[in-house]
Structure 1
Amino acid sequence: MRLAYARNLLTQEQSDRLHPLLNELSPKLNFYSHFKSFVNFLLPPLTKGRVGVG
């Protein structure tokens, strides 16, 4: 969002409207990203090492 604002792709009003939404979503997206990485670490893809799949 900072880059978009710095490049004048967002107005101050648009930035003000998006800021609360991003503040709410950021922790949720961060959790999802870390959770997905953790699950992938614990449970490798089911197709790994199987013959004839993929």
Structure 2
Amino acid sequence: MRRRRNREKRITKILGVALGLSGVILIIHTVPLYVWYAALGASVLLLIILLYIS
């Protein structure tokens, strides 16, 4: 029973990563480039702030 649960978690994780990557690719191709760079800069700033706080 335990092995099955671990396998199900791994499959769910792989599916989640695949769906996330396909969503990111779709967003990159439909959103203008300057919006993409603004979002990337905002996420990097947020990451720096979160790392600084903790």
TM-score, with normalisation over the residues of structure 1? 0.46
Between Structure 1 and Structure 2, which shows a larger proportion of helix residues?
2
Task: Please say which structure displays the higher CA radius of gyration.
Answer: 1
TM-score, with normalisation over the residues of structure 2? 0.46
